[in-house]
Structure 1
Amino acid sequence: MKKQFGTYAAHQPGYEGFKQLGKLDDYVYQSLSHLGDASHKLSWSLTVLENTDVPKELQEEIKQVLQAVGDIKQKLRAHQG
C-alpha cells in the first residue's frame, strides 16, 4: 500500500523495515535507528578526509558532532519503552 505523499511514512528511510520489525509505533526506536545511520555517515565523512588537506580543526568539529550524536542517542535510550 502506497503511503500518502506528505506523511513521514511516504518519505522515511527504512519505513518498510520498521514495519517488518513491528516497530511502526516505536518512535524512539526509529529515531535511534536514524541517529545510528547519521553516526555511521559522519564516521565515513571523517574517513574520506584522512588523506586531504582539510584543516584538522574542521575535522575535529565533525568529531565533536559525532560525539554529540552519541550523547543524544544515550539520552534518548532512557525514553525507550
Structure 2
Amino acid sequence: MTNFISIGKENDFIFQALSHMGNASSLMSWANNAVEDEKEVPRQLKEEMKQVNARIHELQECLRDIKNK
C-alpha cells in the first residue's frame, strides 16, 4: 500500500483513487487468471469478470481527464 503522506499526496484524492483502482485492476487480473482454465466457472462469468477489469480502466481514464483539467 502506498504511503501517500510520504510522497506528498495525502490531499490528492484523485491520485489516491487512481492508485487504489490500479491495485484493484491488478488483483482482478490475478482473479481472471485463476479461473481461466476452470471448467466449473461458466464462460459468461469469466467474461463478466474481464469486463469488470476493463471498466476499471475506463473509469481511471475518466478520473485522469478530471485531474488534467
Identical-pair percentage: 36
In structure 1, the gaps of 5 or more residues are 1-12
Distance of 2:61 and 2:21 partners within structure 1: 11
In structure 2, the gaps of 5 or more residues are none
Q: Which has the higher contact order (CA 8 A, sep 6+)?
A: 2
TM-score normalised per structure 2: 0.89
RMSD, matched Cα: 1.2
TM-score normalised per structure 1: 0.76
Cα-to-partner distance string for 1:46-67 (whole Å, 9 max, x where unaligned): 0111221111110000011111
Q: Which of these residues, 43, 49, 59, is aligned with residue 72 of structure 1?
A: 59
Which one has a bigger Cα radius of gyration? 1
Q: Which runs of 4+ in 1 moved over 2 A?
A: none
